[in-house]
Amino acid sequence: MKLGLKKCWLVLATVCLAGCVAFPQHEVANQPAVAQRGQSDLAYVDLHVFHGVPGKATADDLAYGAMMGLALQAFHDSGRFGLVSFSEADRAKANEQYRLSLYSNTPRTWPIVTGILCAFSYDLIPFYASQHYTVVLERIDAQSHQTLTHVENTDTIHHYFGWLTVPAWIMGKSTSVAQVDTLENQIRSAIATLPDRTDDQ
């Protein structure tokens, strides 16, 4: 009977105290959202979403829809564009053309090992993984479709799953919030870093 009660309390404690917290590393300096300046120019964005690192990545079609909404918000919040479209139908009439490539790279071996240990220890041994995001933004020539100029940045989010303490809840974020905040900031930073069109060679 006592053993059964102890197991019951252990399960309840695991459910109540265990959780997942994400810790953005802020490797890319914060680029705050800026109000739009009333431009009427149309910018076309050719969006690509990958899993892996540049040069060694595969297309991630499942994440494309979510990343499009995130990228659209980041472009609007940059304050540099009036209208932004991801539709191929708008390419020809766009005043500016960009190619935006988003890469998500999660090392696979370490998360698997820590995940197994976490499960068998009732979350006493935490699950820990890092997720790296790379953003590549290119300005494209409308005639030749060649890259005129490009910028690139990388940031990281650490994920922790296990028994949580109060400081962890205060300092960390949910996984989805951390991902959105990190990627939107990376895109805004890339836009802010990209030279003006007059500087293109």
pLDDT one-digit tens code per residue, 117-144: 555 555 566 677 788 999 999 999 988 8
Q: Which domains does the chain have, with CATH numbers?
A: 18-28+42-199 (3.30.160)
**Residue 81 structure tokens:** 């564009």
pLDDT one-digit tens code per residue, 57-76: 999 988 899 999 999 999 99
Per-residue pLDDT of the chain (201 residues; tens, 9 = 90+): 444 444 444 444 444 455 677 788 999 989 888 766 656 689 999 999 999 989 999 999 888 999 999 999 999 998 888 889 999 999 989 999 999 999 998 765 555 556 565 555 555 666 777 889 999 999 999 888 899 999 999 999 988 776 655 455 556 677 888 899 999 999 999 999 988 765 555
Are 139 and 200 spatial neighbours (Cβ–Cβ below 8 Å)? Answer: yes
Residue 72: phi and psi, rounded to 5, are: -60, -45
| One-letter amino acid for residue 148 of the chain | L
| Predicted TM-score (pTM) of this structure | 0.81
Rounded CA separation 170/179 (Å): 17
Are 75 and 191 spatial neighbours (Cβ–Cβ below 8 Å)? Answer: yes
**What is the model's pLDDT at position 11?**
46
